[in-house]
Amino acid sequence: MTRDAIVAFERRYGSPANSLLSRLATVQTEHGGLTVSAADAVADEIGLPRAHVRGTVSFFGDLGFGARGRRHVRICEGTACLAATGPGHFAAIRRSLLANDETTVQGVYCLGYCYGGPAALDGESPRAGPNLSSQLLGEDPGADPDIPVRAAVDRPVVLAGIAGGGSAWPVWRAVLADGGGERVLKEVDAARLRGRGGAEFPVAAKWRAAAATRAERRYVIANGDEGDPGSFADRLLMERDPDRILAGLALASLACEATAGFVYVRSEYPRARDAIKDAVYRARAAGHLGRNIGGSDVDFDVEVIEGAGSYVAGEETSLIRSIEGLRGGVRPRPPFPTTEGLFGLPTAVNNVETLVAVPWILAQGGASYAELGVPDQTGTKLVCLNERFARPGAVEVEFGTPVREICEVLGGGVRDGQNLRALQIGGPLGGFLGQEDLDVPLSEPALRRIGIPLGHASLIAFDERIAGAAILRHLWRFAASESCGSCDPCRIGTKRGLELVERDEERPLRSEERQRLEALLDVMATASMCAFGRGVPGSVRSLLRVYAEELVAT
Amino acid sequence: MRVSVDGRQVEVGAGASILHAIRAAGAMVPSLCFDERVSAAGSCRTCLVGVDGHAEPICACTSTVAEGMSISTSDAGALAFARASLELIVSELPERALSADPKRSELVRACQQLGVDVGRFRGARHTRGRDDSHPYVKFDADLCIACGRCVRMCDEVQGTFALSLVGRGFETVVSPDGSDWANSGCVACGGCVDSCPTGALSEPGLLDPRPIDSVVVTTCGYCGVGCSLDVHTRAGEEIAAITPTRTAAVNRGHACVKGRFAHAFVRSRDRLTDPLIRRNGRLEQGSWEEALEHISRELKRIKETHGPDSIAAISSSRASNEENYMLQKLMRAVIGTNNVDNCSRLCHAPTAAGLTASFGLAGGTGPFEEMDHSECFLVVGANPTEAHPVVGARIKQRVLAGASLVVIDPRRTEIARYADVHLAGRPGSNVAVFHGLAHVLLDEELVDRVFLDDRTEGFDELEALLRDYSPEAVEEISGVPAEDVRRAARIYARGPCSAIVYGLGVTEHAHGTDGVRSLANLALLTGNVGRASGGGVYPLRGQNNVQGAADLGTLPDLLPGYQRLTDDEAVARFEAEWGVALSRRPGMRIPQMFDAALAGRLKALYVYGEDIAQTDPDSKRVVAAMEACELVISQEIFLSRTAELADVVLPGCSFLEKDGTFVNFDRRFQRVRTALPPPGRARSDFEVIAAVAKALGGDLGCTSPADALEEVGRLCPHYAGISHGRLDREGPLHWPCRSAHDPGEAILYRDRFATPNGRARIAAPPYRPPGEEPDASYPFVLVTGRRLEHYNAGTMTRRTDNLRLRAHGFVEMNPADAIRLELVEGDMVEVASRRGAVTAPLTLTETVGVGQLFMDFHFPEVLTNALTSDVVDTAGCPEYKVTAVRVHQLLSKS
């Protein structure tokens, strides 16, 4: 039983609170913004305490109290858009759009158009391209470029469906009929599959832990809150092969003995949300989801939850809080969600890319999967290349492929004859490599050895046009605006970091500033509660190393 | 589990936090976001410690111990990071945060411990400003460090859910759910203020920088829960703050708006500081000598002329055990009459009578702590979240943790909104509803046959009676849907350990004793009493010492310790101790005293700490009875309505100024200690009663309250083991406590019931309609009761800022009735009964049912008890909960 009174309250008296975020978003759209009284009314309707609903509204970037224009444009401030156009484009577009007083503008961190940015969401319509400003002003037709996709492996795993490998649902039905959860666990174990969200936790172990917790019910969640600016792998999978995610989630539910699943899709991905919802309806109609599936005694159904604008919501405790309709603040672990998760019940949260591999593993056998990649990291990874590459897009590679090969061969090197100044791997909590560092193999252990977390394996190339100081400011702005506030080293530290680098004059950090920054990075890296606050310092430090001559006074 | 902290071995439970182990070892680390009353958040990161085998510092509050773990609080690396975390916290705060008195700021203490002043991380601070809208909860938002302790206190202890953190990242700050604190859902339990580590949430007395130099631990004088309070004073002269005692068994560091904040009355300018004597029809200030001389002259005269039974005393359920003991001793040993009663007559006399008849003793069957194990609560005729807030909050938390809840109450109270089933029967239908539940228990074979056979008697009569109480029949009588009766019975029976918690909605009826007994039947039928398991029957006592006043014998037919006047051996013991012969004639109950006064048989009335002119039913008649007396003495702290009518007024003490003991609702003796001296020439009530005795030529013997309790111990076997010394050494004790080594019997009847044959007695009283029912002339049923912010006659709470939280009395009506009568919110209405009429503003709420009204009785300007009837139960308790009234508009709001 949870110690958490608000969750207990909600479980007993709220109805159904997991609809809170979408309910608030609907009210916001219909009423031209959210007021305190509107939020109170939603709280009363759903049966949640008003204070907590206000807390939720004020937490999420998309919500908040205030007016919303008839036209609401979310402009991407993500890292790839910075790499594409430099730091000024957001302000310029914002200025031109706000000339119309029926328009409101919101900056968001990444819309997943890193291969073709800069990007924006006009209402729910994605717009991207070098002429974004003209598109938004109606001078050019709107463009929503597809993700270029390639499989640089002989037998695509993650891209199995997209590359023409057919539906994953037959695998689900076959496992349901023969082997069940034990078979799932055995094969996933044999595959040595690890979580692709960045934490690299062994998947079968997580599922066993959830199954081992005594409870009246259990949940599985597909984490589609792909927050890392630079990554669009999950968007690709959710839009183009949602059935495979659902089949993977269904297989996970069998292993966890869960009866209900959720797919949490970030609000920046409206197409992905629609595709997943559509896939759920189709799966129900086809009898893949529901009660007594395929004549078995297995019940499993899935609900799609849309986020409301928070990077940290991708962290599992935060994601669970936001499904509960509460502030998406990170919570200390333990208890881990596998013992006390959604509504206090055992819950396994897995990234969509992780789940996508599961049907393949069940179809081909865990041993086949384990043959892919390198001994210390099996399998494949969908790598995302930004628009600075000559051949941007999503590429499936085996773990162990040298980063240089990915950049120079698969990505074709930096376009327009520019030089690669820096390569960011793994998003804002990952790190930066210089031209000379690229021979490292793409694998979590190898990168970890040089102090860079793999994260979601996005690759963002920076050419020489973008100043290191702009990237440094971008990192701290992102950190300060996305810190959830649950722990003080991150809540205050990200603000202090931003203050250190946000100034008008362009100059390297003075030695006293550098000392203060180091002290700050130390405490954030060691004392923060979650991977966010702990991860920002490594990213900053690697940037300072790669741009040392620009950023650090000697 | 065995772990070592700085080389010291400690034993802690599995699953304990590292912080817990550190504290158990007597070590200290800062922990700004931690409060042992709520869950850990791990947000401040100042409790980082070194743990062997871990390269990185570990957050002590959120990490659990492992067997053999070696913890270091002086690990240099961990300390450096803890210090850096604290430096970051300090960097967002204004300078005043660090200039606070360390005793009032955990933050300052943490900075002292870790040697942090301004720190290395200067930067932007907050400019959110203050919210001083609330009289007690003062919010300085720029001091908030978003640790969320206040939110968790509100959620996990108080259960009001009025607070949340808002914003995110650096902008995260706590906020109440209203436009400001005063207009929010905050019920001012003070938990948030008490927990805040920085002073962002504070209270007036703590914001006043003058030193606070004394702390006295005492027992709250509001309601019968018996919360332990720490009274912080300035030089023992002025109260700076009252906070709940963290280690107290009853309240565990929780309190309510009354005990926590409503203390300004003690230094109210209109406190009585001198005796008053009526001369030429007017009360005039006099000396103690004059007042005592007057009393002694008049009482002697009346006793000589009309006999001792022409004199009566009404004792105070707010007074201590020792004072109650002294007053009944005065009446019995010096005056020579048993005419002494206390206000439990007006509230829980049916409890005393009913529980004694059913189980053998006149009190709740188990300690409050047992509710931690209750899996089901049956809350009947009680509004605990307002009238007994600490119990109400605890029940809410148990329910949130999964316990089931059935509420029987005509009103949709806050606790009813949490219920699995709410049975809102017509006022006065309790007995029928209880029988309906019993009927279902039998019908569906949900009874505990073994328990019934082994430990009860009288089942057959009940079984026969219950044939007439099918759920459908009960629906006819009460209006409660038959299916709800069935559901409620099943939930109660399913338990597995079901507690019955009830209040005056059971007792204050024409057939209150029948209600108590038929309610007790439910516990007997299911075996939910007489074993340690979270079951039990808990009467929620109205006043702080209503249990003790009765325990100590301010009852006309019972000596202290519920010993009967017919018990020769007991009477002989008292006569030997007191050295006088006792009258064996039972005295008058309070309502009989008024009858006797009006009939000319009662000539003198000594009213101690009780505003009978406001709180007793049919006020007009009460006043007439007082006027008929030749002498009325009022011993009071304020010039109450009763005092205004008295011939002599003696200034006494509030609970904050006295020494002694109270007994709370679960039979727990707890110490009351003097925090302040009495004002002016007021004297402790203990001394006053002794002085009255002396003036009459008597000698009550006891030289101090401690001495009095010693004497009680010699006379009452149930209290023999209880003394001030032992309470001071060991803490509270439950009666029965038969010797100095007896730990006290917190859970009663584990082996046998306290009846002559050891069996509980199942009762079979038929349902009888209430004494007063609505008709065409008086179509509404008025229910009376308390509100959170005030206490009974309001003498104390109306002299505090609680008045800012609720300024006046009003009439609650269901909106459907208002539409029919074309009334709107705020209209001034006259509510009239067969006895009187009062005027009050109208408020519309669905908490009252159609055809019902609700009024409190806290405000003298809305004299609710002018309406109530003097119909009484067999135990003498008035039917406060059912009065037929009519309503009409006097003044439209528009």
DSSP string, B45-71: ---EEEETT-SS-EETTT-B--TT-EE
Please report how many Cα atoms fall inside a 13 Å half-sphere around the Cα of residue A490, on the Cβ side. Answer: 30
Tokens of B892: 């439209």
Mean pLDDT in chain B? 95
For residue range B102-155, list pLDDT tens digits in order: 999 999 999 999 999 988 999 999 999 999 999 999 999 999 999 999 999 999
Burial label for B448, CB within 10 Å (0-12, 13-18, 19+), is middle
Option in B123, B167, B184 nearest A495 (CB) = B123
Task: Provide mean pLDDT across the span B607-620.
Answer: 90
Contact B782, B247 (CB under 8 A): no
Q: Do B177 and A54 touch (CB under 8 A)?
A: yes
Q: Do B81 and A527 touch (CB under 8 A)?
A: yes
Residue B482's identity, in one-letter code, is A
β-pair type (B2-5, B48-51)? unpaired
Q: Do A12 and B400 touch (CB under 8 A)?
A: yes
Q: Residue B50 pLDDT more than 90?
A: yes
How far CA A544 is from CA of A472, A474, A554, in Å, comes to 8, 13, 13
Question: pLDDT value at position B894?
Answer: 62
Q: Do B168 and A483 touch (CB under 8 A)?
A: yes
Q: Do B121 and A310 touch (CB under 8 A)?
A: no
What φ, ψ does residue B406 adopt, rounded to 5°? -120, 130
Task: Indicate the pLDDT class of residue A552, thresholds 50, 70 and 90.
Answer: confident
Q: Do B168 and A327 touch (CB under 8 A)?
A: yes
Q: Hunting for tokens 């970890």 — which residue is that?
A: A448
Of B186, B194, B199, B200, the C-alpha closest to B241 is B194
Q: Residue A2 pLDDT more than 80?
A: no
Q: Do A516 and B44 touch (CB under 8 A)?
A: no
Q: Residue A43 pLDDT more than 80?
A: yes
Q: Hunting for tokens 């009355």 — which residue is that?
A: B265
Distance from CA of B91 to the nearest CA of A (A): 8
B145 to chain A, any CB pair closer than 8 A? The answer is: yes
Distance from CA of A417 to the nearest CA of B (A): 41
* Terminal CA-CA length for chain A: 57
B397 to chain A, any CB pair closer than 8 A? The answer is: yes
What residues in A contact B175, CB-CB < 8 Å? Answer: 51, 54-55
Task: Indicate the pLDDT class of residue B893, thresholds 50, 70 and 90.
Answer: low
B399 to chain A, any CB pair closer than 8 A? The answer is: yes
Task: Indicate the pLDDT class of residue A90, thresholds 50, 70 and 90.
Answer: confident
User: Which of B32, B56, B154, B170 is most worth mutating to test chain A (most A CB atoms within 10 A of its CB)?
Assistant: B170
Residue count (chain A)? 554
- Torsion A35-A41-A44-A45 (CA) sign: negative
Task: Provide mean pLDDT across the span B539-555.
Answer: 94
B330 to chain A, any CB pair closer than 8 A? The answer is: no
Question: pLDDT value at position A88?
Answer: 85
For residue range B569-579, list pLDDT tens digits in order: 999 999 999 99
What residues in B contact A315, CB-CB < 8 Å? Answer: none
Rounded-to-integer distance, Cα A321 and Cα B187, Å = 26
Option in B81, B161, B177 nearest A6 (CB) = B161
Question: pLDDT value at position A507?
Answer: 84
Rounded-to-integer distance, Cα A2 and Cα A21, Å = 22
Question: pLDDT value at position A265?
Answer: 97
In which order are the strands placed within the sheet that holds B276-279?
B282-285, B276-279, B648-651, B631-636, B604-608, B311-315, B340-342
Residue A457: Cβ within 10 Å count: 28
% of chain B beyond a pLDDT of 70: 100
Task: Provide mean pLDDT across the span A381-394.
Answer: 97
Distance from CA of A50 to the nearest CA of B (A): 6
DSSP B32: T
Task: Indicate the pLDDT class of residue A177, thresholds 50, 70 and 90.
Answer: very high
What residues in B contact A51, CB-CB < 8 Å? Answer: 154, 161-164, 175-177, 184-185
- Greater confidence (A533 vs A200) lies with A533
Task: Indicate the pLDDT class of residue B884, thresholds 50, 70 and 90.
Answer: very high
SS3 label, residue B421: strand
Chain A to chain B Cβ contacts (< 8 Å) = 160
Task: Give the least confident one: A84-93, B245-254, B405-414, B754-763.
Answer: A84-93
Q: Do A496 and B41 touch (CB under 8 A)?
A: no
What residues in B contact A484, CB-CB < 8 Å? Answer: 168-169
Rounded-to-integer distance, Cα B586 and Cα B574, Å = 16
Task: Provide mean pLDDT across the span B469-482.
Answer: 98
Contact B586, B565 (CB under 8 A): yes
% of chain B beyond a pLDDT of 90: 93
Alpha helices in A31-144 (DSSP H): 36-46, 50-59, 79-85, 89-98, 132-136
> Could you tell me which residues come within 8 angstroms of residue B664 by beta carbon, excluding any fewer than 6 positions away?
B219, B224, B225, B226, B250, B541, B544, B547, B670
What φ, ψ does residue B243 adopt, rounded to 5°? -125, 155
% of chain A beyond a pLDDT of 70: 98
DSSP B238: E
Q: Residue A1 pLDDT more than 50?
A: no
Task: Indicate the pLDDT class of residue B277, thresholds 50, 70 and 90.
Answer: very high
Rounded-to-integer distance, Cα B361 and Cα B503, Å = 18
